[in-house]
């Protein structure tokens, strides 16, 4: 891909190399090529499935058409865009481009009437975007699975490292780093399952969705079944009941799942930022990087910040798509057309977010010394354990006793042990509490 400094979107310059797979799916080139492919395949499908109703196609003519279809390139795009300047209609420009090619051949000239037969432009666009979004979804799922594989490894690697929890920003019952990573991995995995259940939908039913043109031309064909089988060749399912446009509900559902997943990743990015800020994680140094233009000592969590920002942009776009796309005046208006052209941007910003999050995770390492010191400075977190044992042994005011001892106060090892020794509880329970330390009070975090 050529780097153009004049492009307005960072997706097309700064982040160009990071989203080449997404760009190749959602580019203008890809949209035109997909429309072109559908138009050609529809003509072939008609002639091959119903040669008695439509014109029979010889192997020689079929091969000419396939060769033409497979030769689509940048020159093809320029020709189509040139035609579009005259027609002011992008789908019609593709139709005329094919027509111009057929005109040059005496045999193919006889099949011109079957180009775009029975269709409205939305049939082509609906299927085109379903194909493209489905391809984008595959890349997105792959990236998420790679992220989750990394999270699973880190969760296992750090499963035994205790960590002081923070609820409401205050010291709370300890956990482990591995378990906290596992929370995000599990949440993302749940969303991946939802993505797997996505069914791309398109319509191929003519002007207002009633198969008018098909039926009036040849009533002996079951056009609903026939068009559905054609659409399935692209791994897309026909929505048989629509207006002129497929209502885009499935796209909204997909983007809602993407937004939830982005929010999970934002949540993780912000947590990692706070952990780094609080010295729970150290950032690995890269001697060639610059943290600040004026403060040489700085090593900043820029990858997590970059991830947060790009996931946020994707969510903002998704929010508009989700609210706009399922609404269309009566049988159709054209406002969805210009909106759909931007849907690849959401996939692009999400991919940058995932890439940045992955980079950030590769640069952090637990600051074990600090973590253990922080735990040792917060013995008051064991009051939950003490009051639970007291309750278990039948002491009614266990919570109140611990509240008076610890609320708003700092406990150390000595004051904790003195309090435990003063309790009227069994020797077994007392021994259990005396052997406890903040670093050991992690519940079932390792099993979780």
Longest pairwise C-alpha distance within the chain: 104
Query: Is 168 assigned a catalytic role?
Result: yes
Helices marked H in 158-301 — which ranges?
177-196, 212-217, 223-232, 249-277
Query: CA-CA-CA-CA torsion for 80, 82, 83, 85, nearest 10 degrees?
Result: 130
Please give the C-alpha separations between residue 70 and each of 102, 127, 176, 345, in angstroms, as whole numbers. Answer: 15, 19, 55, 27
Please give the C-alpha separations between residue 386 and each of 75, 172, 173, 373, 437, in angstroms, as whole numbers. Answer: 77, 14, 12, 22, 12
How many other β-carbons are positioned within 10 Å of the β-carbon of residue 390?
21
Q: Is 360 exposed, middle or buried (0-12, 13-18, 19+ CB in 10 A)?
A: buried
- In eight-state DSSP terms, residue 396 is T
Q: List the catalytic residue out of 17, 168, 297, 435.
A: 168
Q: List the catalytic residue out of 156, 277, 292, 335.
A: 292
Q: Are 237 and 201 in contact (CB under 8 A)?
A: yes
Query: Is 113 assigned a catalytic role?
Result: no
Q: Is the dihedral of CA 407, 412, 418, 424 positive or negative?
A: positive
Q: Are 265 and 311 in contact (CB under 8 A)?
A: yes
Long-range contacts of range 431-434, CB-CB < 8 Å, 24 or more positions apart? 432/389, 433/382, 433/385, 433/386, 433/389
Residue numbers annotated as active site: 168, 292
């Amino acid at each position: 891909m050529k780097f153009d400094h004049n492009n307005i979107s960072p997706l097309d310059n700064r982040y160009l190399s990071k989203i080449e797979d997404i760009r190749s799916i959602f580019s203008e080139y890809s949209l035109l090529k997909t429309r072109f492919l559908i138009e050609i395949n529809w003509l072939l499908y008609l002639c091959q499935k119903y040669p008695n109703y439509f014109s029979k196609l010889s192997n020689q003519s079929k091969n000419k058409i396939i060769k033409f279809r497979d030769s689509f390139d940048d020159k093809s795009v320029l020709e189509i865009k040139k035609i579009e300047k005259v027609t002011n209609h992008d789908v019609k420009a593709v139709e005329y481009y094919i027509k111009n090619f057929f005109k040059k051949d005496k045999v193919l000239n006889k099949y011109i009437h079957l180009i775009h037969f029975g269709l409205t432009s939305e049939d082509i666009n609906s299927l085109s975007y379903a194909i493209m979004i489905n391809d984008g979804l595959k890349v997105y799922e792959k990236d998420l699975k790679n992220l989750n594989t990394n999270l699973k490894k880190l969760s296992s690697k750090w499963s035994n490292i205790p960590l002081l929890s923070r609820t409401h920003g205050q010291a709370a019952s300890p956990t482990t780093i591995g378990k906290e990573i596992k929370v995000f991995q599990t949440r993302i995995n749940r969303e991946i399952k939802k993505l797997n259940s996505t069914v791309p939908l398109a319509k191929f039913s003519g002007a207002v969705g009633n198969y008018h043109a098909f039926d009036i031309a040849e009533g002996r064909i079951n056009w609903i079944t026939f068009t559905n089988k054609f659409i399935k060749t692209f791994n897309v399912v026909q929505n048989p009941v629509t207006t002129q446009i497929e209502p885009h509900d499935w796209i909204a559902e997909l983007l809602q799942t993407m937004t939830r997943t982005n929010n999970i990743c934002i949540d993780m990015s912000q947590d990692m930022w706070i952990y780094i800020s609080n010295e729970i994680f150290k950032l690995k140094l890269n001697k060639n990087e610059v943290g600040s233009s004026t403060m040489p000592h700085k090593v900043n969590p820029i990858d997590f910040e970059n991830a947060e920002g790009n996931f946020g942009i994707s969510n903002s776009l998704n929010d508009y798509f989700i609210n706009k796309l399922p609404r269309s005046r009566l049988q159709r208006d054209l406002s969805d057309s210009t909106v759909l052209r931007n849907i690849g941007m959401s996939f692009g910003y999400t991919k940058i977010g995932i890439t940045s999050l992955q980079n950030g995770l590769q640069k952090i390492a637990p600051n074990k010394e600090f973590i253990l010191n922080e735990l040792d400075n917060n013995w008051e977190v064991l009051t939950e354990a003490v009051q639970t044992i007291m309750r278990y042994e039948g002491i009614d005011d266990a919570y109140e006793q611990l509240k008076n001892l610890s609320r708003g106060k700092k406990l150390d090892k000595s004051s904790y042990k003195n309090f435990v020794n003063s309790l009227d509880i069994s020797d077994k329970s007392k021994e259990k509490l005396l052997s406890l330390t903040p670093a050991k009070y992690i519940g079932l975090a390792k099993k979780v």
